[in-house]
Structure 1
Amino acid sequence: MHDLMHDLALRVAGDECKIVNLNEGSINGGIRHASFASQSSSPQEVTSILEPNNLRTFLSLKKSRTFVQNGILSKFRHCRVLGLGYAHFGVPTSLGNRSKHLRYLDISENLSMESMPNSITDLLNLQTLKLSNCKHLKTLPRDLKKLVNLRHLLINGCDSLSHLPSLSEFPSLRTLNLMGLDALEFLQEISYPEHSNTTRPFFPSLERLSLLDSRNLKGWWGRRQMVGADQDRARYNLQPSFAKLLSAAILGCPHLNSVPLFPLIEYLNIASAELLEQVMAVLDCQSKAPVESTFIPLSKLKGLHFAGGDLEHSMLETLLPVLNNLESMSLNDYPKLKSLSRGMQYLSSLQHLVIDACEELDLSSHDDKHGIQWRSLVKLRIELCDNLTSLPEWIYNFSSLKVLEIIGCESLRRFPEGILRLGNLEEKVRVIGNVPLAENIF
């Protein structure tokens, strides 16, 4: 069946789509979409046997480094999709003038490029720009915001990039992925957000944000201090907010202490207690707001993942009561967390809960008020919680529970009798690791 589908796909594609192999001899000049992965050939060798004027797609899939002629980009005047991975060349200053039709541009693993030419801002049709592991890239064009149709910007592993142009004014940007930018300290070089022009748009279309593994990133704004609980409501009102942000992952940035507000967020993956404290300050300001301002930030949150950091019980006490729509939550690597917050009782929509590497956590001390509200819980996973000696008696309230996993909790000695009343479990409790009860659960 697979071979039939493959043959059908080739027939539909006809001669316009081709994985180029130089050993095949002559190649049809009508190819419009070409890719090659040969480790023994270079992009210029491939383009020399194609008709560049016909090409709409050119993708280099090879993973061995090649030095190519600087004029190679001039051969792709009509390309819509251009991917040049592991190819070393200086990007010509005329890029924007010669490749105006580009929708997708991927320049990855380029060790020759130190700057992007200003002419890239003339690529008005560009929708995706990907710069990955360009180790010597130091600057991007100041007026990058002129790319009015840019929807996806991915900058990954560009170790020398210490400054970014203003990104907040891209009118169409939906995805922003910044990863492994070790030289970057601030995302916007202004003293305070309230000093900026508030009439300018602030990421008007951004839906997905990833800030990952940038160990020297200190804040969103240059020299801006973290929002504290003692700040007045005036500053809270002046702080920019993402208008449409639905998903954010902020991980591996240990010194990051400020981000814009994300009141409509639905999925949040975070690993910083400092940023969580900023969220607490926002909720505190909201609680002091006039009655007519009743919208609660984070009330639309459906998925919440805490990963590492000094999470404190008091933080959960403040945060959890507003998360009525939360469906999935995980607590990962919080060795000082000794008990769950009573705020857990407000999570009436919670379906999936993961507790991982919370070494001091003890569930046996909680009363049954927590379990009553968890009737929607479908999956519970507890892993590497060394201080866990027993599950709570109120587990029988988890009437919808289908999956229960206990992994590597070596101190666990007792299962409550209420576990026998969990009639919706699809199979017996799954226990993995050196747990004494693994062979005799019921």
Structure 2
Amino acid sequence: MENVLEGLQPNSNLKKLCISCYRGSKFSTWMKDLLLPNLVEISLENCRSYEHLPPLGKLPHLKVLVLTGSEFYGDGTIVFPSLESLELCDMTNLEEWRIVNGKESFPHLSTLLIAGCSRLEEFPIIPSVTSFTIRRSNAKLLCSVKNLTLLSFLAIEDFNKLTLLPDVLLRNHKMLVSLRIYYLCELESLANQFNSLSALKYLEISYCNKLQSLPEGIQKLCCLQSLHILCCYRFASFQMFGFGGLSSLRKLWIEKCEAFCSLSEGIQYLTALEELCLDKCPELISLPEGIRHLTNLRTLQL
């Protein structure tokens, strides 16, 4: 297997390389010796037998690195001077990801995705990351999110056993614009999660089957423009709080929430609201009188 890959040495001007289902334990000489200095994108998919990654961090132009279904072992020396996007997917044996002190690592990394890394409990501080998706991984990783202080996009997806989010999760994210919470089937509460998200514009909560209401802290989201609640089957109403602080809200979508039965009378304070969707909510039998005051409302979907 190694000999076959050795004989496939591409031209040194190659910019994109994908190796899938490689069963050898060692990579070719032309990869280990970095004879492809112009590589911009590398994808290693389901290469489960190799023992060490090549020193990819020394590739000066590498911007996108995708590692899927593989284990890697590092000595902490890779720095990735141009890398902008990194995906770590289904790396079930990965236990540690560290950066050597005193070395600048991932200086341009802006997009990070971690999925299916069940043993990884933390990741290093990478200040440049602005977009982070975490999916189907060790819940302890969520505590490291607090260190990504420049985040503008955060997606938390597919944590089936998580009942509460860590209190520290969203404390340091004053630049967060978009938040997606998806398939947290056991999530019961979002208490204390929205108090400091002063820049948040887009909030989507989907398939959180045990979530019954939103916390009062949502009233502090004065920049929120879009709120989408989908398939939260026990979500019943907004009666616990008004809408007084949501002066920028333009879109309110509540879909397939079987227990949803009531809008707050405070809906009249949503003066910027343009779209209201209350779709497939069989327990909702009436609308509040305050809906008459929504002079900017253009779309009403029931």
187 and 265 in structure 1: CA distance in 2 versus 1, 3 angstrom threshold: farther
Q: CA deviation at 1:252?
A: 2.5
Map residues 304-319 of structure 1 onto 2, 5 A cutoff.
Answer: 304-309=179-184, 310-313=186-189, 316-319=190-193
Max Rg structure: 1
Equivalent residue for 2:6, pick from 86, 89, 92: 92
In structure 1, the partner of 2:59 is 147
Distance 1:308 1:171 in 2: 35
Equivalent residue for 1:117, pick from 16, 28, 32: 28
Q: CA deviation at 1:362?
A: 2.2
Gaps of at least 5 residues in structure 1 are 1-69, 71-88, 222-238, 284-295, 432-442
In structure 2, the partner of 1:335 is 209
Distance 2:40 2:77 in 1: 14
424 and 208 in structure 1: CA distance in 2 versus 1, 3 angstrom threshold: same
Confirm whether residue 252 of structure 1 aligns to residue 136 of structure 2: yes
- Say if 2:192 and 2:215, in contact at 8 Å, map to a contact too: no
- Say if 2:48 and 2:71, in contact at 8 Å, map to a contact too: no
- Say if 2:23 and 2:48, in contact at 8 Å, map to a contact too: yes
167 and 99 in structure 1: CA distance in 2 versus 1, 3 angstrom threshold: farther
In structure 2, the partner of 1:206 is 109
Gaps of at least 5 residues in structure 2 are none
Asked which structure has the greater RCO (Cα within 8 Å, sep 6+), the reply is: 2
Code of the aligned partner of 1:119 = W
- Say if 2:239 and 2:263, in contact at 8 Å, map to a contact too: no
- Say if 1:164 and 1:187, in contact at 8 Å, map to a contact too: no
- Say if 1:155 and 1:178, in contact at 8 Å, map to a contact too: yes
Q: CA deviation at 1:411?
A: 1.3
In structure 1, the partner of 2:39 is 126
Distance 1:392 1:139 in 2: 58
- Say if 2:226 and 2:249, in contact at 8 Å, map to a contact too: yes
Map residues 156-171 of structure 1 onto 2, 5 A cutoff.
Answer: 156=68, 158=69, 161-165=70-74, 166=76, 169-171=79-81
Return the structure number with greater helix share: 1
Residue-by-residue CA offset, 1:146-179 (whole Å, 9 max, x unaligned): 22321101233x3xx2224458621211101233
Distance 1:115 1:388 in 2: 56
Distance 1:344 1:135 in 2: 45
TM-score (norm 2): 0.84
Q: CA deviation at 1:281?
A: 3.1
Q: How many pairs are equivalent?
A: 292
RMSD over aligned Cα, in angstroms?
2.9
Equivalent residue for 1:415, pick from 277, 287, 302: 287
Map residues 194-233 of structure 1 onto 2, 5 A cutoff.
Answer: 197-212=100-115, 214=116, 217-220=118-121
184 and 147 in structure 1: CA distance in 2 versus 1, 3 angstrom threshold: farther
Code of the aligned partner of 2:87 = N
Residue-by-residue CA offset, 1:288-343 (whole Å, 9 max, x unaligned): xxxxxxxx621100000111224343xx3322110010000011122222221010
Query: What is the DSSP-based 3-state SS (H/G/I as helix, E as strand, rest coil) of the residue aligned with 1:345?
Result: helix
Confirm whether residue 350 of structure 1 aligns to residue 224 of structure 2: yes
Q: CA deviation at 1:266?
A: 0.5
Percent of paired sites with the same residue: 25
